[in-house]
A and B are shown apart, each in its own frame.
Chain A
């Protein structure tokens, strides 16, 4: 066991325990760690944006290569920032309109293709009881139909229609159960990451054997 002499590792350990101390109860160490995280993230982001976006993508092309067309998006960007000046905040709406319009125009047709049409295509399957794949396909087909019917609210969920909707609830519950199980796994993984950091990087314990 070799305890680290790297001050950054010590700082990491301090903030790790500060955050975990919230599990006992809210306290000033947790608050400090929370605020430092927000501050560092924003500061880091600003520096990277300055060096990787503003200088090479705006300043150099405009002032060294004479690409004046870039001044138009720069003005739109400044208009967006004007949201913080109440007198001129209305100008930000033009920049937002441009951003939303462009974004929606790009995303909507492709989302339709990737998340709706391709998914519909994936429900058109070879159904059958003779093979495992055929039975799986029946489960997928019935599941999609039952869940869609559950979300159809223009007809009262009674009789056969209500029965299929209830089956849809069962499929949804299985889905939620799987998601919950995965969520538990995810949260534990984050803790494992911190345990590994404390044991290996801080205490210098060789866990690999």
Chain B
């Protein structure tokens, strides 16, 4: 009883702080930077630069597949990546196939594609093609490695595949020069297993930050050209193509939140040690 009644020390009170206060501080640390931008630098990592360099080296006859294999739960991280790479492909005039193995993917990327196409004055079916969702996941990957036109009878807008100019000369894996899979799950492995390994199509991936650490072994082994990891990866790519968009705007908030969290971890540990020493 006497123990309960004694006055709590500063560290004891700090350690027992309501978690909602912490949420509030982190929320403020993330919202305020949108209004007071300090222009913190976004250094580009080798994993991102390698993808950029690969696309830069492509010619207008080359074909890039961008597969948005995700749903709304991870779209804040992956949509900016898709947006940046799609814009880079349009800028480079490479033939781009935009698609998704996930049922909710096409609905998410449709507005991004339309906006980018409008900005670069590109036409669906001529400069790029937007494919619909087809049931099958890994089977879709295997099918399109063998025969693109048989896999997708129409594009996303219902135009018959035979009537789409851009795919006339695209047959199968021999015509693909890069596959980039954007995913918050294990679908990067589907492309790796059923496209890269058997057919040798160059691959890169854009993953949520949670999955980023799992990808490094595949980069080290040379199976992936590179990787975009989380919002940071997307912001790095926006820096490379010189278009500061969704990801770059979010990075300032991300940086400040990290600083606050690091401070909390340090303070929490000092408090824990101070209390432990007293006991």
Which A residues are closer than 8 A to B by beta carbons?
23-24, 41, 44-45, 48-49, 52-53, 56-57, 106-107, 110-111, 113-115, 118-119, 121-122, 140, 175, 178-179, 182-186, 188-196, 199, 205, 207-209
How many chain B residues touch A (Cβ–Cβ < 8 Å)?
Answer: 54
With a cutoff of 8 Å between Cβ atoms, the chain B residues found around residue A186 in the complex are 77, 208-210, 230
Q: Is the CB of A118 within 8 A of B34?
A: no
Please name 6 further chain A to chain B contacts, defined as beta carbons within 8 Å, in addition to the given A41-B104, A190-B73, A192-B30, sorted by A numbering.
Answer: A45-B103, A49-B135, A186-B208, A191-B30, A195-B253, A209-B37
Contact pick for A53, options B135, B221, B223, CB 8 Å: B135
B76→A189 contact, CB < 8 A: yes
A208 to B245, CA, bound (A): 7
How far, in Å, is A130 (CB) from chain B's closest CB?
20
Interface residues of B in 21-50 (CB under 8 A from A): 23, 27, 30-31, 34, 37
A179 to B258, CA, bound (A): 15
Provide the residues of chain A in CB contact with B132, threshold 8 Å: 52
* A118 CB contacts on chain B under 8 angstroms: 197, 221, 223
Residues of A within 8 A of B23 (CB): 23
Check A44 against B104 for contact (C-beta < 8 Å). Answer: yes
Q: Which residue of B lies closest to A180 (CB)?
A: B213
How many residue pairs at the A-B interface have CB separations less than 8 Å? 125
Instruction: List, in ascending order, chain B residues with CB within 8 A of A119's CB.
Output: 217, 221
| A208, B35: Cα distance in complex, Å | 10
Which label, helix, strand, loop or mixed, suits the secondary structure of the A interface?
helix
A56 to B150, CA, bound (A): 12
A189 touches B193 (CB 8 A): no
User: Complex formed: what's the CA distance from A56 to B34 in Å?
Assistant: 47
* B interface residues, Cβ below 8 angstroms from A: 20, 23, 27, 30-31, 34, 37, 71, 73-77, 103-104, 107, 132-135, 138, 153, 189, 192-194, 196-198, 208-213, 217, 220-223, 229-232, 244-246, 249-250, 253-254, 257-258, 261
Complex-state Cα separation, A45 to B253, whole angstroms: 34
Which of B27, B134, B211, B213 lies at the interface centre, i.e. has the most chain A CB atoms within 10 A of its CB?
A: B213
Across-interface contacts of B75 in A (CB, < 8 A): 193
What is the CA–CA distance of A196 and B30 in the complex, to the nearest angstrom?
11
B223 touching A114, Cβ below 8 Å:
yes
A110 touches B253 (CB 8 A): no
Q: How far is the CA of A175 from the CA of B215 in the complex (A)?
A: 12
Q: Which residues from chain B contact A193 at a C-beta distance below 8 Å?
A: 75-77, 250
Minimum CB–CB distance from A41 to chain B (whole Å) comes to 8
Asked if A122 and B76 sit within 8 Å, CB to CB, the answer is no
> Of all chain A residues, which has the CB nearest B37?
A209
Check B103–A44 contact: CB distance below 8 A: yes
Contact B232 A185 (CB under 8 A): yes
State whether A175 and B213 are in contact (beta carbons under 8 Å apart), knowing that A114-B197, A119-B221, A190-B74 are contacts in the complex.
yes
A142 CB to closest chain B CB, in angstroms? 15
Q: Tell whether A110 pairs with B213 under 8 Å between CB atoms, given A56-B153, A190-B74, A196-B249.
A: no
